[in-house]
Amino acid sequence: MDLFKKMAEEGHEQVVFLRGKSGKLKAIIAFHDTTLGPALGGTRMFPYASEDEALIDALRLSRGMTLKSGAAGLSYGGGKGIIWGDPKKDKDELLLRTYGRFIQGLRGRFITGTDVGTYPRDFVQCSTETRYLVGMPVEYGGSGDTSVLTAYGVFLAIQTCVEEACGKKDLHSLTIAVQGVGKVGSKLCRHLKEAGAVLLISDIDKDAAARVAAEVGATAVDPKEILSVQCDVVSPNAMGAVLSEKTIPHLKCRIVAGGANNQMATPEDAERLYKRGILYGPDYVVNAGGVIQVADELDGYNYDRCKAKVETISSLLKTVFAISKAEGINTEAAATRMVKERVRKILELKATLAPAK
């Protein structure tokens, strides 16, 4: 990969490669844009097939965090940590503490917490070496599990998308296909069940799918088929890049809205959805509940205040839909335009001399 060319194409500022002396830790931290403030983003641990695959994920996810924080009105930039390894086999105290020392060495430029493959308890071990952590367990002074409010935000987003596409918020009897029933997806299913939706679910972990299906009365579907089932809403809540030139033609839904990051394989996929008349809830708006929570934690966490902020996801989506209709552009382009305009205004503000004290 031509890394500098790739960074220039997507506007990245910095990529840091980390290796523990024991050789066990292999990590990447990508900084996308810190105009709005220090980079805030989770750390993902995953057994990537190659170094390039890990790097591409770091770049993609960090850009998503810039958009997510920008759309949610937060004063933080976009960054993402990647630990290349199997969280079930490779994670231990030495690895996590080593990672923590590297984060501390960045002196607050990167603030991190949980993502796929990492949990609040992991960062208790990291906290021995660094203070730049969020999403810690409540008993350690953190705000706890970010998937709770993330799932709540995704649920509200689905309601808003249904209102836009169908003219009603009521989800009763609508069929919703949930891809991935992990930390966020399983909680989302509980909200959807309470709202009366008919649920089709899938997960690469068959035991997890069976467990959630039994709990919420859902029908478990083969993971290879979940994106092509007949339904009203497809909700991706697993890994990214599931919406592509290959999968979009097979969608049989009116809406796509879910908690997964970077759902589209390429920028062109948003246009493909738009041309098919499928309403897309941009993922970095839909799943912003987690980053809203951890940003609030940095200001002294208050659950009620944070929940109220998460509930603004609905109004943000309505703004995106209004821009899309007014300008005749897809919703991803509309959301990106909204964020870029905010970044531009903040840059202008920072160019203004502060008054003398």
pLDDT per residue as tens digits for the range 291-339: 999 999 998 889 999 999 999 999 999 999 999 999 999 999 999 999 9
Q: Which among 80, 91, 187, 309 is annotated as catalytic?
A: 80
Over residues 167-215, the pLDDT tens digits come to 988 999 999 999 999 989 999 999 999 999 999 999 999 999 999 999 9
Higher model confidence: residue 72 or residue 355?
72
pLDDT (average), residues 130-150: 90
pLDDT of residue 354: 64
Please state the domain extents for the chain.
3-64+76-140, 147-288+299-304+313-327
Higher model confidence: residue 10 or residue 79?
79
* CA–CA dist 158, 316 (Å, integer): 13
Give the rounded percent of residues in the chain with a pLDDT score beyond 70: 99
Region of poorest pLDDT, from 90-94, 190-194, 222-226, 347-351: 347-351
Q: Which two tokens stand for residue 73?
A: 């009105």
The CATH architecture that domain 147-288+299-304+313-327 belongs to is 3-Layer(aba) Sandwich (3.40)
122 with 91: CB under 8 angstroms?
A: yes
- Domain topology for 3-64+76-140: Rossmann fold (3.40.50)
Q: Is the pLDDT of residue 353 over 70?
A: no
pLDDT of residue 169: 82
Q: In whole numbers, what is the pLDDT of the chain averaged over residues?
A: 94
Domains 3-64+76-140 and 147-288+299-304+313-327 share a fold: yes
174, 177, 218, 219: which is closest to 197 by C-alpha?
174
For Cα atoms 101, 14, 64, give the angle at the middle one, nearest 5 degrees.
95
pLDDT (average), residues 106-117: 93
Q: Is the pLDDT of residue 12 over 70?
A: yes
pLDDT of residue 355: 62
Over residues 339-352, the pLDDT tens digits come to 989 888 888 887 77
Residue 89 among the catalytic residues: no
Tracing tokens 């057994």 back to the chain, one arrives at 47
pLDDT (average), residues 131-156: 92
